[in-house]
Amino acid sequence: MADGSPIVFFNLLKQAGRVQQDSERVYFEIEGPISFSAPEDNVDVVIVPSNELKVTFMIDYKHPYLGTQYTWLPSIRAYEKEFAGARTFCFIKEILQLKQMGLIKGGSLENALVIAEPDISDADLKHLQDVFGYHKEVTVSSEGILNSHPLRYHNEFVRHKVADLLGDIALLGMPIKGHILAARSGHKTNVELVKKLRQIQKKQELQMIYQKTKSKEVVFDINAIMRIIPHRYPFLLVDRILEFVPGESIVGMKNVTINEPFFQGHFPGHPIMPGVLIIEGMAQAGGIMLLNQLEDPQNYVAYFASIDNVKFRKPVMPGDTLRYELSVISLKRSLAKMHGDTYVNGEKGCRRGLHGNDYKEECMSKIHPTAIIKEGAVIGNNCVIGPYCVIGEHVVLGDDNVLHNNVILDGHSTIGMVTRFFPLLYWVPILKT
């Protein structure tokens, strides 16, 4: 345990010396602001671009001997002199609990700064002496430190937090170029921050492999996509990847033109993109996510396994732009389960339907306040639903439909587009047996 600071290990590494390497050092460069918050722990961390590693740190303990402390590391060159000697610290209640649990067997008042409570009694100090098996009396300094250890820096506690952060960030596996601004962060939240940085790092690594032309607006262009998935014209249905968080989410885009081969027969004079191809486009974007879990994705093919709860909300025509948004539900080496939405020119076109009266506020249709839309019904865009209309729970109503007053649609009904329902109509499909 040494003295509770990193300086002992730092000196051992210095004694071992350094060896010049042939390859150039690779840095994790922060391209834009990255934020991380853990509200339950009152932690906030922001990393902004910088030409070298810098750290600004603040701690804020509701304790009279600690309170608020602030420090900053202007350069890694200042670490040895200004931070490596900062010792770990804890509160007296914490070490008693850990000792009772059979932990901190190597811990003592000599390898950590133990902070006392302001009202600690002589009996408490005697109990602590017995717990640790000390022969000498345990004392408290004017700074609230047990055994009167003098502080090495006026703000030694927050400086040790910087040392903790640098050690945890080293788990990333490469040095960082960025300015880290942290408030009240500890090992737990530091590790979560590293996980988030690792996702960004994975994306950068994949871009270095597949994306030959660097662009801030595109993660993978069409050439990179064709290096990852085997699909080719006329069945390559994603043009670029706009956003990518490995293992979590992916956003793709498809520009739909009149030159698409399926428009020749679907339908002549009224070109509509088949819904199954919208689903296929989402699947291809999801396949990019899945295949990037593998070291050599070009040697594999992703297959569709199943699909459920699909709703088509808006027809896709030549000139439209599709935006596929997929989020991971579960992801294994050979199987991915995702939730996806497709936006048509910014509006959701393929999605699970909203339910019940949610439509009155969220869909693009005009719905009279006296109309009743039962939970489960699906309403398309640009519909007009008049007074006292009732739409049943199993009804699917397409786009651009008009229902005059007192229209009732019920049963397992699917209504297409551009249909007009006149007043007092009662619609229930008759099933022949």
Is residue 135 annotated as a catalytic residue, yes or no? no
Strands 54-60 and 68-73: antiparallel
> Which H or E element spans position 226?
helix 222-228
Residues linked to residue 34 through DSSP beta bridges, in sequence order: 47
Please tell me whether the peptide bond between 267 and the residue prior to it is cis, using omega within 30 degrees of 0. yes
Q: If 0-12 CB within 10 Å is exposed, 13-18 middle and 19+ buried, where does residue 151 land? A: middle
Identify whether the C-beta of residue 180 lies closer than 8 Å to the C-beta of residue 47: yes
The DSSP line for 107-168 is --TTSSEEEPPTT--HHHHHHHHHHHT-SSPP-B-TTSBBTTPPPSSTTHHHHHHHHHHHHH
Q: Rounded to the nearest 5 degrees, what angle is found at the Cα of 244, between the Cα atoms of 243 and 246?
A: 170
User: What's the first-to-final CA gap in the chain, in angstroms?
Assistant: 82
Residue with tokens 């902070």: 115
63, 127, 187, 412: the active-site residue:
187
Residue among 170, 315, 305, 316 nearest 237 (CA): 316
Residue among 326, 315, 391 nearest 349 (CA): 315
266, 339, 355, 404: the active-site residue:
266
Crossing angle of helices 92-100 and 122-132, rounded to 10°: 40
In the sheet that holds 240-245, the strands lie side by side as 240-245, 249-255, 321-331, 336-344, 347-350
Is residue 266 annotated as a catalytic residue, yes or no? yes
CA distance readout (Å), 406 to 163, 234, 368, 389: 72, 48, 11, 5
Catalytic residue positions, numbered: 187, 266
